[in-house]
Structure formats: C-alpha cells, structure tokens
Structure 1
C-alpha cells in the first residue's frame, strides 16, 4: 500500500478485553480498523460510532466457517496491513482427567482450530509485506510449563502455537510477517481480577512490537517487549 494510504487492520475478537483495547490503540495511532464482535451493541460499537469512520465493526462468530467466508466476501477489495486474531476461552482449573470431551472440544476449537481457520479464510486480504498475528500466551510454552494448573488452557495454546508453525511453513513464501504474541497476564475476564497487568498497560507494548516487526520474514513467538518466548 502507498505511503499516503492509511494503514488498515482487521482485529478478530475485539468486543472486550485485550481485543477491544488493541482496536482502540491502533485507532489512536491513526490506523483504520475493522473489528469483529459476536453480537451487536456494547462498547466496541459505541467507539465505532464516535470514530469518524476510522473504526468499523463487523459481526462474526469466529468458530463458524460460513461466517468467516461471508466476512471474506464483505471485505473483498480492502487490502490489510495487519490481520490480528484474538480469541480464547478458559473453562476452569481442572486436571485433564476431569475435563469432559465436550469441554475439551470447545476449548480446542475456540483457542486453536478457529484462529487458524480465520487466518486461512482471510489471509488473501493481507497486502504484500503485511503482518498476520495471533494472540498467544506464555502458557503455551512447553518448556515453561513447570507449575501445576490450567492444563486444558495450556494445551490449547500450545496447539495454537504448533498450528501457527505449520501455517508459517506452508505459507513460507507469501511475504507476510507472522507473529505469535504473548501480552502477559492481564486483568480481563479470562485473566482474572488478580492479574498483575491491565490491558491499557500491555497492549500499547504489543502494538509497538507489531509495528517494529512489520516486514520481518518468518514466524516469531514474542512477548510484549519483543523478546522471544521459548517454544
């Protein structure tokens, strides 16, 4: 895209928490942002209404391939500088033998399978030299898994990282920067009220990393300081 064209981002999963703050931070930095939410209403829509067209909201249930395909059609002809997928659920701190098949399927589908489906459905919109990024977590680091707890969530994030590695291998020659980003432990619905960070603290640093890494080849798993996270 030309230097005079505003940078454009698509943020999947922006109705609350990290995704909402991410969309707002990009707008603050003069990006034009398309942000998705599962339903109408809420703070994201209010911000869009006050953004003078800089923030646009699209409805999307990310776990639906049909809705992903429909979003792709609606955005046809809008090249992106950034495609960012932010989606995760947690169903509690259970040892794996207490996790039902239904719970396992739900968490893995939302946290690992659906983000990669979204990338595959929407990657053709990303301009040459653009960035494809997914919100990960150091909880997905196998080498850092040295404390008990949240076994299903950790497994889902490790699966996400592995699938992103496969995606990067398969699309190694597409010219896109590919990032897995660990924003730290934040006070969100997922992270809980006792987490040490607020999204307002961590997300600007995440965007700094996105902007600094733009144009870099290959896949990187980085924290909010731009430091590598061990796989």
Structure 2
C-alpha cells in the first residue's frame, strides 16, 4: 500500500533515491519469508539476479512461480514451506534451518482486506485473520528465527506507509492500517528489547505497487519498487537500530 508524501529526511546511511548501478552482493545469504507471488516473488528474483543465496518460503505444497524461478536460478534459490499463522510450522522451519546462518532475514508475508467499511463493521474472524497474519505472525517469525541471523546482519519486515499513524489523514483501509500500525509498534518493542545490538532492523514501506495487496490501481510498478527496496536495505547494512523507511530510503513518520 502507499506511503504518503509526508516523509521526513532519511536517516544517515539510508538511500535517498535509486542508484544507477545494480547492487551486487554475491554469496550473501537471504532468508525470505513469503515469496510465492507478488512482492515476495519479486524480491526473490532481484536477490537471485544479484547472485545472492536465497532460501524463500511458500505456504503449502502447491507449485508456484517461485518454483519456476528456482529451476532457472542455477542453485541460488532453495524453497522451504511455512505458514506464519501457525506457531508449530514456524518452529518446524526453525528446526530445519538450525544449522544455517543468514545475513538477512526478511518477512514479507501479509494479507489485505476490503478497503471499504469501518473497524466496527468488520467481522471478528476477518479482523483476527488480518491482525494475526500482518502483525502477530511476523513477530513470532522474527522471534523464532532471529538466532539464525548473523550478529551484524539485518532483520526486515514488510510494513506499509499505511501503518503510519501520523500520516493517516484520509482514513480508509482501517483494519489493514491498524494491522500495519500494530506491526510497527511490535517491532519497536522488539528493537527496545534488543537495544545496543549490532543488527539492523527495518520496517519497509514498498510504496503502492500494482501487485498483490496493492491491487491494480497502485502508483508504482514492481520494477519501480523492488530494486529500490533492495538498494535501501543494502544501504542500511551496518546501521544498527530500527529504521521505518520507504522504498527510496526516506524515513516514514510514525
């Protein structure tokens, strides 16, 4: 979903715009949660094109476009399964990867719901579905997999500009907004508990992209968003603490 234009200047070390050259980090190890389609698939494709070693997840046994990418990736892409709404499956993934280490953990999994309607008009089941998938599930995943990330590595979560409380001047998408605001708050609490550690923590707002939860009316194409998401994540490497930024590296107001 879209990041509003009310972004504050980027923090030191962030990218303020697209770089002309492709970022290249051959051999870097990425664990990407939620990559069967949409932004996650695009992230996997971008990282593989950079020569990085990617372990990416799908929810179930069905064949996806990620499997097609794996066949073309010359050994750079492995596929795992996990459903982040089920703690037992997160734990099982952690066990399967226990002997692995990664430079980047990025949790992309998430859902949206109908944009119209207020919170009060949303059924309890639908509210729970969105909140568990977008807020509780990602934090459970981060907590379970954090020890697989190098001490100076990066842990990122796909947020949204719609998670900004300060920038919410138009309303709409109330449950989705609330779930991303909750995600941001939970990550801020996580960062507070891990203050002083060397890891970079990132809440990423990819812009309103014409794919996946963004829908067909988005302002950006995948090619306008995802390469810049990767460049921004790269630019934040070695900058400990929590960063809430958009795809161009601009800090988003809480």
Scaled by the length of structure 2, the TM-score of the pair is 0.87
Q: What's the counterpart of residue 64 of structure 2?
A: 42
Tell me how far apart the structure 2 counterparts of residues 38 and 132 of structure 1 sit (CA, whole Å): 20
Q: Please provide the CA RMSD for this pair.
A: 1.3
Structure with the greater relative contact order (CA < 8 A, sep ≥ 6): 1 or 2? 2
Structure 1 portions without partners, runs of 5+? none
Q: Give 1:107 shift.
A: 0.6
Q: Give 1:189 shift.
A: 2.8
Q: What's the counterpart of residue 163 of structure 2?
A: 140
Tell me how far apart the structure 2 counterparts of residues 107 and 42 of structure 1 sit (CA, whole Å): 23
Query: Is 1:25 the counterpart of 2:42 in the alignment?
Result: no
Correspondences of 1:24-103 after superposition (within 5 Å): 24-40=45-61, 41-93=63-115, 94-103=117-126
Tell me how far apart the structure 1 counterparts of residues 101 and 162 of structure 2 sit (CA, whole Å): 32
Query: Is 1:211 the counterpart of 2:220 in the alignment?
Result: no
Q: What's the counterpart of residue 129 of structure 2?
A: 106
1:190 aligned counterpart, secondary structure: helix
Q: Give 1:175 shift.
A: 1.8
Correspondences of 1:150-161 after superposition (within 5 Å): 150-161=173-184
**C-alpha contact 2:26 2:51 (8 A) present in aligned 1:** no
Tell me how far apart the structure 2 counterparts of residues 121 and 148 of structure 1 sit (CA, whole Å): 34
Tell me how far apart the structure 2 counterparts of residues 114 and 148 of structure 1 sit (CA, whole Å): 25
**C-alpha contact 2:36 2:65 (8 A) present in aligned 1:** yes
Q: What's the counterpart of residue 169 of structure 1?
A: 192
After superposition, the C-alpha distances for 1:88-122 in whole angstroms (9 at most, x for unaligned) are 21120221110111111111000000000000000
